[in-house]
Amino acid sequence: MKTRFASIVALVAVVWLPGSSSAQRGEHHGQAPADATVDFGILPTGPLGPPPCLQAGAIGGPNDPCSYKLHVLIPEEVTISKGGQVSFQIHGGGHGFAIYEVSPNTTREELGQFLCAGADPATVADLAALQCNLSAPNANSRHVVLDGRDDVVLVAEPNVNTHPNNRVWSEPGRLMSAGAHQFLNGGTIAAGPDSNGQLLTYRFLKTGRYLVLCINRMHFLNDWMFGFVDVVGTSAQP
């Protein structure tokens, strides 16, 4: 089992254990809980590391080369019973939200290659190992995202800096979308004063595997800000 670390130096340290390869494919043994909670992003409370990470000012913002450390879902994957709900606690600024159904054999590593080919940013500590960090060309380009069956999950059309293409906006198959502050040039978003503490919930009425992602183009396409919800078994509702 691979352990991933997302750390905010001396102030915030988050450790999580993603599921095994079988869990990543939506398999679950035993009784699943009715509900689950997921932290959607991390609120920065101090520098995210030594320079070149920003030491003051807009720490964790769109110009901080270490901001990718904040763009995670914790836990990265949850399993619930059919009819249960997941509550997503939004932390930090600039996030939007969308859900799509994917095939049971869809994995993080394979899906991420359609966003920014290379290492999973959640596993990278060395900035030099990041392929698309703060890359406007990657965030602004067209991406076709496929699941484990090679079916199209979503299409991020090129960014034209107007709604909807300044977001990862793909309506076919989308179950819901919500949130997002004002989008600026380059696919980034300006955070407002209400950027932390928002709560979104979604009740899953059908078994399957679901992709949950941030519709901020930089967060999703550059930093792989997404996770999965696996829905199993019979209804958790009376």
Q: Under 8 Å CB-to-CB from 125, ≥6 apart: which residues?
A: 5
Contacts made by residues 29-32, CB under 8 angstroms, sequence distance 24+: 31/81, 31/233, 32/79, 32/80, 32/81, 32/84, 32/230, 32/232, 32/233
Give yes or no for a contact between 58 and 64, defined as CB atoms under 8 angstroms apart: yes
**Residue 143 main-chain phi, psi, to 5 deg:** -130, 130
pLDDT digits (tens, 9 = 90+) for 33-54: 999 999 999 999 999 999 999 9
Ordered structural domains, the chain, with CATH: 4-232 (2.60.40.420)
Indicate yes or no: pTM above 0.85: no
Give yes or no for a contact between 199 and 127, defined as CB atoms under 8 angstroms apart: no
pLDDT of residue 48: 96
pLDDT of residue 234: 72
Give yes or no for a contact between 207 and 79, defined as CB atoms under 8 angstroms apart: no
pLDDT digits (tens, 9 = 90+) for 189-219: 344 434 567 899 999 999 999 999 999 999 9
**Cα 67 to chain centroid, rounded:** 13
pLDDT of residue 61: 92
